[in-house]
Structure 1
Amino acid sequence: MIKETFSKNTRINKKVCLTTDFVIAGGGLAGVCAAITAARAGTKVILVQDRPVLGGNASSEVRIWALGATSHMGNNNRWSREGGVIDEIMLENLKTNKDGNPLYFDAILLDKVSAEQNITLLLNTAAYQVNKSLDTKIDSIDAFCSQNSTHYTISAPLFCDATGDGLVGFNAGASFRIGAESREEFGELLASEDESNQILGHTLFFYSKKVDHAVTYKAPSFAYSHEEIGANPRSKNIHGHDSGVKFWWVEYGGIRDTIYETEEIKWELWKIVYGIWDYIKNSGQFEDVDNLTLEWVGTVPGKRESRRFNGEYMLKQQDVVEQTNFYDAISFGGWAIDIHPSEGIYSEKPACSQFHSKGVYQIPYRCFVSKDIDNLYFAGRNISATHMAYGSTRVMITCAHGGQAVGEAAAMCKDLSVSPKDLLEKELIHQLQQRLNRFGHGIPGVALDKSANKVSFANIFASSELVLKNYESCGDYVSLAQSAAQLIPLKKGNAPIVSINIIAERDTEIVCQLRTSEKPENYTPDIINKTISLPVHAGKQTIEFDFTDVDVIDQYGFVCFLANQYIQLEISTQLVSGTMSVFNKVHKAVSNSGRQEAPANSGIEEFEFWTPERRPKGQNLAVSFDPPLPAFSKDNVVNGHLRPWLNSNAWVSDYADTQPTLKITWQEKVELSEITLFFDTDYDHALETVLMQHPESEMPYCVKSYRIRTAEGKLLADVNNNYQTVNTLTLDSSITSQELIIELDHPSSDVPAALFEIQVR
């Protein structure tokens, strides 16, 4: 029993002082990935999170689906899903949670963080003050946990602000911006002539569900009335059976202070949300809503924008649109420049304006390094970017990808006893890029260094190599009501003859084009190399298109069949790594109407969108190639690229190969301590975390079972049920051998075994 007498003095809460290598404030996806990455590199981390769960806007408290460069598969960024730790997390979520339960995603994040012995996690703990010994150096932060009434003082040589609002950077005195820059300041043609206070607002979500009986609903007194909701400019967007993120347009707060007035903004959103639900249930405007019930309403709004801090470089519109190359690229983006009116739901303007680039763009290390504070990183939506560039960089998986780059950089600073700005030296940046890509991070255009891979000076023998003659027909056809294309890797030389079986409902004409991208690394088919128009008669027939007079380079090509409602194309259920079908179609979720129309003099390019259908649709077109496509060589496993980039970059075995095998042979015995395999987990598939359901729990391209042996017959690995991209085998003690034998099993009869890279150390 504890008894205390009256005290005339105020009591002091418990105080705990902690010391570590690296402090991360903010447990959203950026902070989580920074913490895991740094911890796995041997750095002691304290992760301070002011909420009871991890994930920030992706958590069950807010429930926004996590997305990045894949953009709902609605842009031209093929194979652009972010790699590394966030890829591991997203694939884990797919495996156990393909139906998008937000509570399951909470548990996955907690499990990943708690599994790292080098991470100390402080939940329900808010960082509120910074302590400095020098003007430009943080010594410690003060934080308070509301659940255990404990004050923490946490000291470290390195800090990362991943709080979104930039609480640490603000307290530390780092320079920042709120609002939109003028057109003149950075030459951003999409920006307004004058700078302004324009920022994006908050959204608060709700879930509904259908039950087996009628449910009545009485709105709270603070909710807006039917008349007020019906008079709102956005009321036409209300659909009775929509739920969650589909109400992203319920946005408010951009005309207020999105930091200090967040509680007031939340109350306004509550009034709107409960009013919308009352309008759905009781206005008589919606059918089949009697059995709908309100399952959940958010208590924490999803915040889009507040402070953006000044780094050593500020990303701008031109960097996104023109895809600027940076020597210090450590991350990438691909979401559209997505700008919303500050008035949000009360604006007469469109709820958002999205302007896409023709491909992914690099984000440099300098955007994550504080210009003013020597030992401070930024990660997440508060990195150094203009308001326009921020319209793209702010989305969660882009934030997460940058966060893990910061985690690796912090570990490198610790290992080398240097500061964040010291890493700006080109050789150190190269080392950082290599450290990241070793775990599948995927920096565009940055390959793994062959000199660090023992396979690069070995002889590689393959039991087979796929030479793609055709996609075998499954007997079904798809309508050519919308233009369709087969996306294939071309090799330098002459393009092939392409043939396909079609069914024509009447005598008509079929038009086929061979297209490529102006920038070879892109997947926007903006160059028409050749157009062939051929007459066809009613009925089934084989049509041949001769493109052999077209000279091509190593890049992806589009065999495009232009829309004709009277024609059907033969399709195949076969899947081959580094190839897919795409369609010139509308994708309203990302403002894609089939073609991007740009405002005059905006610096935005106009082009067509050619995007895939989600499985179980989107089968390959059953085209044949003469000569066959030789794009799947065994040599690809040591070219350093971990996904399609100018080439398939994958070794793919032949369908007829009953036991796909790679033999790696050295001239003499070598010491082996670590073997890493990089598999195909369909980097093109967007893995939205909530609300949307996915057709499978594992990517169909991924090798599930394989074995690794030495020449002496020693079994090093026998793996079954794999669903992850990166598989690393770290041996308990190094061994010597002159040969490694890697046996892969085909994922299925329709999918041949494939491998992007083998790293041996």
Structure 2
Amino acid sequence: MQTLKENYELVVIGGGLAGFCAAVAAARLGTKTCIVQNRPVFGGNSSSEIRVTPHGACAFHAYARETGIISELLIAERAVNHEEIFENGWTNSIWDLTLYNLAQSTPNLTIKVNTDVYEVEKEGRIIKAVKGRVQNTETDILFLADTFIDASGDGIVADLAGCEYRIGSESKSEFDEPHAPDVASNDVMGSSIHFKTKYIGKECSYKAPDWAMHYEDAGFFYKQGRPPKQKKGGYWWIEIGVPYNTITDNETIRHELTRHALGVWDWMKNKDPKMKELTKEYALDWVGQVPGKRESRRIMGQYLMTEHDPQNCTVFNDEIAFGGWFIDLHTPGGLLAANSEPASNENYSTFSDYAVKSYAGPYGIPLRSLISKDIDNLMMAGRNVSVTHAALGTVRVMNTTALMGQAAGTAAAIAKQKNIPVTEAPVKIIEEIQQQLLRDGCFLPNYANKDQKDIALMAKITASSEALLFGAGPESKGSHEGLKIWEDQPQYEIEKLENRKGQLIAVGSEKINKIEVCLRNNSDKVQQFFVELKKSEHIWDYSVNKGGILAKAELTIDPGIHWVEWPIGLQNAPVGEFVRLDLLPNPELEWLCAGKIESGHMAMYQISDDKMRRFGNGQTLSFKVDPPQACFGPQNVISGVTRPHRFTNLWKSDPNLPLAQFLQLSWENTKKIKEVELTFPGHLLREYHAYSPFYQDPQCPKDFEILAFKNNKWETVLTVKDNYQRQVKYSFESIETTQLRVQVTATNGDPSAQIYEIRCYE
């Protein structure tokens, strides 16, 4: 056995998406970083070993996809992977290689895989080193560093260092959380393994081994929230926790899950009255052997997030990430419990008391929940951060943990640069951390770009043209090739006006003369319905009763399909904001969907007395507005926000004009520009599941040029071909100019050139 000693500025323990994004973020900021992973591949639960598809806020909120490093990775994977996403179990090694390629390509980052950390050396409140054993090499490595990030999931480093942690559920009396049980317990959510099947084009049989589980009762699946609806595999509900300990009994859990996975396939293939016919020509292709873990230790930090924070969208001064998954707390025991996860057990109703109280966000996450309260140079990232059990139900999904990881790595790097302890980062350097996260493509719900070094913020912005918002009807056509609806989302007759529905409209003119809606009257009589136009704080303002009513009316519609005009005559519309057009219930009517998705214009429907939720999967409902609204102007690219939020924040060229179209920045004095950074549309609207193989977002510019005005003429500084990434950054020797253009010559399918943000640095 040999022992090596290695020195770093930052060591990240754990190579799941949280740890991976932490390590890459820190290394990109110049920090000498090492990532230590105990598996041969990166990605944790998302890797090809476990195959849990990454989830996040966009499963429930349109335009809420996580951006930054995780977005860069997922966009890169879709662009090159032939495999279709069908939920858990599908993942192939292309995803592993996407992660590995980025790690190998990142300067300042050292990779250590197949390495288990098992010992901590500390002095007082400082960790000096951690010791790891490299599997199959008879080698130990002592990792010395200034700062450590525990992204191990189980909080291994924090536990070895003696940090306080929580495990299981808090009682209702402790924080009065809506989802907390009356009595506290050590029960945690369970672990899962998945399987995948393959279509082979002919009938094939399957015989389960004697040691596998043998299911006989259809009610276990169809009446207890475990419907085997996907013949290709998947099934998060193949889950076991209690009575086993998810840490110490992990191997027992693995064996038990294998028995149950084979038993589920045996049931589907040979006994299930619904599935045995559908699976006749499907064969078992892969069974996982590494349990995907949901919960174990939660390390106590400087702040303990409770369920009230995501539910109430608490605004934190030290906000560094966001979430938006629902409060998703699986039943302890999983397959061994009487019923599965509550939402599944009620067939994902969107109107039940449970669904209403579980819908949350998007909400901010504070840096203090990522910093240990007991060790001064230890941070956490992933499912081991400082939250209650109920709050973990939403922050635990992988795209959210990836954001927390990038934030932890960024904070560690900037603290090192500023020579201050990470414990002081939430107070002393939080603005620098937030601004760096924004510059690196992340989104913060309550903070915008105010980077004083970004000279684009001081420029006059013009464009060759801009699109106007006319609205869209059932006959409208958009550029949405490869974008689909994730089939696991709740589906229902969404167009019927059985409850209040609302359509956002971005206001670009003080006057709104009239609004029209396209409805179907399914009765044989004239129908009345009520409309309201309300102020909307942002696109995720789901309140029914808040927000001032700008106008309201009662309208009528004859039987059949008609455009119904509302001569609203509004004179003081809130320019630069969204308003929401609400139609109140009339079950005889349907509000028809538009045939295209209008950028930033999502809709919602009422689920309780004072709460709405996203309509469909981000579709636009049919509407027309007069006059057309100037809401896609060039000034939007310096709004400081890189997605629709309080406004569209998007420049879009006139789709009726041919490309090339350009965006222009002008300054009064000559600037010496060394860096230009651009953020384009793409991969924001829907969950990762909705994007097809080889997907390149049609709204994203494909070919473009950067030009500078020099010697009384425009000179091309940079030409880019075949782009599909959302954020791109370019460095130059130095461009001396008073004017700069970004000229889009081709997109990946959309007729308009579109840009969310441009940054320039001297």
Following superposition, the deviation at residue 630 of structure 1 comes to 2.4
Deviations 1:579-637 (A, max 9, x none): 24x364xxxxxxxxx726xxxxxxxx9623232337xxx4x445321232222222211
Q: The residue matched to 2:432 in structure 1 has which SS?
A: helix
TM-score between both structures, scaled by the size of structure 1? 0.88
Task: In structure 2, give the amino acid aligned to 1:694.
Answer: S
Q: The residue matched to 1:339 in structure 2 has which SS?
A: coil
Per the alignment, residue 7 of structure 1 pairs with none
* Shift in alpha-carbon separation, 1:298–1:462, aligned structure 2, 3 A: same
C-alpha contact (below 8 Å) 1:14/1:149 kept by paired residues? yes
C-alpha contact (below 8 Å) 2:467/2:632 kept by paired residues? yes
C-alpha contact (below 8 Å) 1:575/1:701 kept by paired residues? no
Aligned equivalents of 2:114, 2:748: Cα separation in 1: 46
C-alpha contact (below 8 Å) 1:706/1:745 kept by paired residues? yes
Per the alignment, residue 3 of structure 1 pairs with none
Following superposition, the deviation at residue 463 of structure 1 comes to 1.7
Following superposition, the deviation at residue 14 of structure 1 comes to 2.3
Within 5 Å, give how 1:248-647 maps onto structure 2: 248-283=236-271, 285=273, 286-353=276-343, 355-357=357-359, 359-426=361-428, 428-471=429-472, 474=475, 480-481=495-496, 485-490=502-507, 497-501=514-518, 504=521, 506-509=524-527, 511=529, 513-514=531-532, 516=534, 519-520=537-538, 522-524=540-542, 526-527=544-545, 529=549, 531-539=552-560, 541-549=562-570, 553=574, 555-561=577-583, 573-580=595-602, 582=603, 584=605, 595=607, 607-613=611-617, 618=619, 620-647=620-647
C-alpha contact (below 8 Å) 2:25/2:406 kept by paired residues? yes
Following superposition, the deviation at residue 563 of structure 1 comes to 6.9
Q: How many residues align?
A: 716
Task: In structure 2, give the amino acid aligned to 1:208.
Answer: T
Following superposition, the deviation at residue 646 of structure 1 comes to 1.0
Task: In structure 1, give the amino acid aligned to 2:612.
Answer: E
Task: In structure 2, give the amino acid aligned to 1:544.
Answer: E
Following superposition, the deviation at residue 652 of structure 1 comes to 1.9
Per the alignment, residue 89 of structure 1 pairs with 73
* Shift in alpha-carbon separation, 1:630–1:409, aligned structure 2, 3 A: same
Per the alignment, residue 734 of structure 2 pairs with 734
* Shift in alpha-carbon separation, 1:80–1:539, aligned structure 2, 3 A: closer
Aligned equivalents of 2:519, 2:707: Cα separation in 1: 47
**Counterpart pick for 2:698 among 682, 700, 704:** 700
C-alpha contact (below 8 Å) 2:604/2:612 kept by paired residues? no
Following superposition, the deviation at residue 229 of structure 1 comes to 8.2
Q: Which moved more, 1:698-707 or 1:278-287?
A: 278-287
Q: The residue matched to 2:93 in structure 1 has which SS?
A: helix
Aligned equivalents of 1:93, 1:37: Cα separation in 2: 19
* Shift in alpha-carbon separation, 1:148–1:230, aligned structure 2, 3 A: farther
**Counterpart pick for 2:32 among 26, 44, 54:** 44
Following superposition, the deviation at residue 512 of structure 1 comes to 5.6
Q: The residue matched to 2:556 in structure 1 has which SS?
A: strand
Following superposition, the deviation at residue 739 of structure 1 comes to 1.2
Per the alignment, residue 173 of structure 1 pairs with 162
Per the alignment, residue 759 of structure 2 pairs with 759
C-alpha contact (below 8 Å) 2:696/2:748 kept by paired residues? no
TM-score between both structures, scaled by the size of structure 2? 0.88
Aligned equivalents of 1:358, 1:231: Cα separation in 2: 30
Q: The residue matched to 2:12 in structure 1 has which SS?
A: strand
C-alpha contact (below 8 Å) 1:517/1:523 kept by paired residues? no
Per the alignment, residue 128 of structure 1 pairs with 118
Q: The residue matched to 1:31 in structure 2 has which SS?
A: helix
Aligned equivalents of 1:160, 1:244: Cα separation in 2: 35
Task: In structure 2, give the amino acid aligned to 1:579.
Answer: H
C-alpha contact (below 8 Å) 1:479/1:567 kept by paired residues? no
* Shift in alpha-carbon separation, 1:230–1:643, aligned structure 2, 3 A: closer
Per the alignment, residue 723 of structure 1 pairs with 724
* Shift in alpha-carbon separation, 1:88–1:475, aligned structure 2, 3 A: closer
Per the alignment, residue 707 of structure 2 pairs with 709
C-alpha contact (below 8 Å) 2:543/2:610 kept by paired residues? no
* Shift in alpha-carbon separation, 1:479–1:42, aligned structure 2, 3 A: closer
Q: The residue matched to 2:77 in structure 1 has which SS?
A: helix
Q: The residue matched to 2:531 in structure 1 has which SS?
A: strand
Following superposition, the deviation at residue 219 of structure 1 comes to 1.4
Q: Is 1:79 the counterpart of 2:83 in the alignment?
A: no
Following superposition, the deviation at residue 352 of structure 1 comes to 3.1
Aligned equivalents of 1:314, 1:220: Cα separation in 2: 47
Deviations 1:136-180 (A, max 9, x none): 111111111113232111111111100000111111111111111
Task: In structure 2, give the amino acid aligned to 1:611.
Answer: F
* Shift in alpha-carbon separation, 1:490–1:671, aligned structure 2, 3 A: same
Deviations 1:368-424 (A, max 9, x none): 001011111100000000111111111100000010011111111221222101212
Deviations 1:690-729 (A, max 9, x none): xx76387022222222111110233222122221111111
Q: CA RMSD in A?
A: 2.8
C-alpha contact (below 8 Å) 1:456/1:638 kept by paired residues? yes
Task: In structure 1, give the amino acid aligned to 2:11.
Answer: V
Deviations 1:333-381 (A, max 9, x none): 1111111121212222442346444531110010000101111110000
Deviations 1:619-678 (A, max 9, x none): x44532123222222221112111112111112222233332222121121111100111
Any gaps of 5 or more consecutive residues in structure 1?
A: 1-12, 585-593, 597-604
Aligned equivalents of 1:335, 1:236: Cα separation in 2: 19
* Shift in alpha-carbon separation, 1:236–1:336, aligned structure 2, 3 A: closer
Aligned equivalents of 2:219, 2:62: Cα separation in 1: 40
Following superposition, the deviation at residue 302 of structure 1 comes to 1.0
Aligned equivalents of 1:231, 1:760: Cα separation in 2: 59
Aligned equivalents of 1:235, 1:574: Cα separation in 2: 38
Q: Which moved more, 1:177-186 or 1:496-505?
A: 496-505
* Shift in alpha-carbon separation, 1:531–1:750, aligned structure 2, 3 A: farther
Q: Which moved more, 1:221-230 or 1:663-672?
A: 221-230
Task: In structure 1, give the amino acid aligned to 2:84.
Answer: D
Within 5 Å, give how 1:161-240 maps onto structure 2: 161-227=150-216, 237-239=226-228
Deviations 1:58-84 (A, max 9, x none): 01111111011112xxx3x23111111
Q: Is 1:99 the counterpart of 2:84 in the alignment?
A: yes
C-alpha contact (below 8 Å) 1:677/1:758 kept by paired residues? yes
* Shift in alpha-carbon separation, 1:612–1:288, aligned structure 2, 3 A: closer
Aligned equivalents of 1:289, 1:279: Cα separation in 2: 11
Aligned equivalents of 1:438, 1:552: Cα separation in 2: 32
Task: In structure 2, give the amino acid aligned to 1:18.
Answer: E
* Shift in alpha-carbon separation, 1:706–1:577, aligned structure 2, 3 A: farther
* Shift in alpha-carbon separation, 1:450–1:289, aligned structure 2, 3 A: closer
Task: In structure 2, give the amino acid aligned to 1:468.
Answer: L
Q: Which moved more, 1:448-457 or 1:482-491?
A: 482-491
Following superposition, the deviation at residue 491 of structure 1 comes to 5.6
Following superposition, the deviation at residue 249 of structure 1 comes to 1.4
Any gaps of 5 or more consecutive residues in structure 2?
A: 86-90, 344-354, 479-492
C-alpha contact (below 8 Å) 1:480/1:566 kept by paired residues? no
* Shift in alpha-carbon separation, 1:612–1:723, aligned structure 2, 3 A: farther
